[in-house]
Structure 1
């Protein structure tokens, strides 16, 4: 049966391996952890690291796009936004007048 671990449990395992004198494969064998799963979790940022969130909190941050609309109601909005999601995936948002 497969054991499901929480983010905190995986982070603790990653921290234990880094603090040990064991290589990742040795640690996984000793702890009976799948090496591929361990490597996937090891790649993730730790819970105490801030990724792209400048506030450092776990809450989502939002960007107010109303400033892109211009100062006057008669201005023609013409924005183009590209969100890079990683692994070559991009989300493109465009608006024409």
Structure 2
């Protein structure tokens, strides 16, 4: 029993490696897109929880950075849109978002 109890904080920590401000930022943006209602708050909160359960925070930040920098026009943004690491990171995030969409919306 003691081993099981000792393992719970580690499991919770791995699921909760997203800082509060990152979760809040996601929920805020999600609510802007989906309506600023209580229902949207619940669905958007669920969504970031699902994403966090699938994708470690470091990989989430990497994907978000590639997506953000990929919006730069011209040759400067090409590497952030078309490189293999960029595509892999953004594909992982999109898969996690698709799973969150299925579970939460």
Larger strand share, 1 or 2: 1
Tell me which structure has the larger Cα radius of gyration.
1
TM-score in terms of structure 2 length:
0.29
Larger helix share, 1 or 2: 2
Q: Which one has more relative contact order, counting CA pairs under 8 Å at least 6 apart?
A: 2
